């Protein structure tokens, strides 16, 4: 629903009013616990040249969302720092409702999905947001808006880690630490689609889930060390991080590749040191928007070769509940906010 806000001005000779289009959004005025999340009326953005205005139907929730709520993190705020209030979130699906100058790639009415501007501000937790056309793709037809919003950040991360960074090939073995989460559950499927053998870790309650996604060997990390099962992986994708990174280097073969996702303090240095000692390639990556890769994945979804698991959905107004669940660290697949 488009709201209108009237700003009354008085220049002493006459009164006039400026009509501003507004919308509802979840924004923060200060960093902190979930109670800093405010569902409020704010100004609706206008698409600039090369951008479209998207009526957001659903917004995906990622761990970077709650970290950006807790504190100003360098990857999302840059050297200049973030300007508050700040509308959280990156993953969106919705409909194109207006075109900026020069846009020919999309038409009004197109259903789209994407992760605009990451790590810049995307304002996903809102009724409307703008996005550069290069950051969007048409929504997979087979997916609902809720499912499509769960895809971009986690799936692009897995695609860029496995294919753009590690150059995973058919017949290779990949160990995916943390196969049941947002990134992990896409990584298993993408690696299987590529023709690789997949070994993954999960707790007992998710063993059947990751098997259903195609994992060949599943290790319950609460019961067994993965290095007792595999020692010669061509590629390791570590979605867990922290001290778990040492395990990645016990499992990768000389000449192999370790890709790390969580950027915990000191882990880049640890990874580089272990990689140099073992003759392994190491990369701590940061996902970037890519409409072409999203379009390729849309084809896989529509062909039934890729699926998305949505663990829970919450209305936008209940973003705090969604963050609490994400912060538990044990989401199966994804959490999504629906935008009425």
Residues that bind ligand NAP in the complex, under the rule CB under 6 A: 62-64, 153-154, 157, 177-178, 180-184, 201-203, 206, 221, 239-241, 244, 261-263, 285-287, 326, 329-332
The least distance separating ligand NAP from the CB of residue 95, rounded to whole angstroms, comes to 26
For residues 55 and 268, which CB has a smaller minimum distance to ligand NAP in the complex? 268
The least distance separating ligand NAP from the CB of residue 67, rounded to whole angstroms, comes to 7
Compute CA distances 153 → 50, 116, 186, 286, whole Å: 21, 10, 11, 10
For residues 154 and 339, which CB has a smaller minimum distance to ligand NAP in the complex? 154
The least distance separating ligand NAP from the CB of residue 10, rounded to whole angstroms, comes to 49
CB atoms within 10 A of CB 283: 16
Peptide bond before 339: cis, by omega within 30 degrees of 0?
A: no
Point out the residue whose Cβ comes nearest to ligand NAP: 181
For residues 132 and 182, which CB has a smaller minimum distance to ligand NAP in the complex? 182
Question: Pairing relation of β-strands 197-202 and 173-177?
Answer: parallel
For residues 138 and 334, which CB has a smaller minimum distance to ligand NAP in the complex? 334
Compute CA distances 332 → 115, 198, 318, 328, whole Å: 21, 18, 19, 11
d(CA 78, CA 129): 21
Task: Tell me the angle at which helices 319-327 and 63-70 cross, rounded to the nearest 10 degrees.
Answer: 100
The least distance separating ligand NAP from the CB of residue 331, rounded to whole angstroms, comes to 5
For residues 186 and 301, which CB has a smaller minimum distance to ligand NAP in the complex? 186
For residues 98 and 312, which CB has a smaller minimum distance to ligand NAP in the complex? 312
- Rounded to an integer, what is the distance from CA 332 to the centroid of its chain? 14
The least distance separating ligand NAP from the CB of residue 49, rounded to whole angstroms, comes to 28
SS3 of the chain: helix, strand, coil, percent, to 5: 30, 30, 35
CA angle 189, 254, 184 (to 5 degrees): 20
The least distance separating ligand NAP from the CB of residue 193, rounded to whole angstroms, comes to 18
For residues 23 and 64, which CB has a smaller minimum distance to ligand NAP in the complex? 64
Asked if 182 contacts 188 with a C-beta cutoff of 8 angstroms, the reply is no
The least distance separating ligand NAP from the CB of residue 197, rounded to whole angstroms, comes to 18
């Amino acid at each position: 629903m488009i709201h209108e806000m009237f700003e009354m001005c008085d220049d002493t000779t006459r009164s006039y009013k400026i009509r501003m289009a507004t919308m509802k959004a979840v924004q923060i005025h200060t960093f902190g616990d979930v109670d800093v999340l405010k569902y409020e009326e704010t100004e609706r953005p206008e698409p600039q040249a090369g951008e479209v205005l998207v009526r957001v139907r659903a917004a995906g929730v990622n761990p970077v969302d709650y970290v950006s709520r807790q504190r100003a993190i360098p990857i999302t705020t840059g050297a200049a720092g973030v300007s508050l209030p700040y509308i959280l979130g990156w993953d969106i699906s919705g409909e194109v409702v207006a075109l900026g100058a020069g846009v020919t790639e999309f038409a009004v009415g197109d259903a789209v999905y994407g992760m605009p501007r990451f790590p810049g501000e995307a304002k996903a937790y809102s009724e409307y947001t703008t996005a550069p056309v290069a950051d969007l793709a048409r929504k997979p037809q087979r997916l609902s808006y809720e499912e499509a919003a769960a895809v971009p950040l986690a799936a692009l991360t897995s695609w860029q880690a496995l294919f753009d960074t590690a150059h995973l090939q058919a017949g290779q073995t990949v160990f995916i630490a943390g196969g049941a989460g947002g990134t992990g559950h896409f990584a298993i499927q993408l690696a299987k689609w590529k023709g690789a053998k997949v070994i993954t870790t999960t707790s007992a309650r998710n063993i059947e889930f990751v098997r259903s996604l195609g994992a060949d060997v599943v290790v319950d990390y609460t019961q067994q060390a993965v290095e007792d099962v595999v020692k010669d992986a061509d590629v390791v994708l570590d979605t867990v991080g922290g001290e778990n990174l040492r395990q990645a280097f016990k499992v990768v073969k000389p000449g192999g590749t370790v890709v790390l996702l969580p950027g915990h303090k000191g882990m880049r240095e640890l990874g580089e040191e272990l990689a140099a000692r073992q003759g392994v390639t190491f990369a701590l990556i940061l996902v970037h928007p890519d409409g072409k890769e999203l379009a390729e994945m849309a084809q896989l979804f529509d062909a039934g070769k890729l699926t998305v698991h949505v663990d829970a959905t919450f209305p936008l107004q209940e973003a705090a509940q969604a963050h609490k669940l994400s912060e538990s660290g044990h989401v199966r697949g994804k959490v999504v906010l629906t935008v009425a």
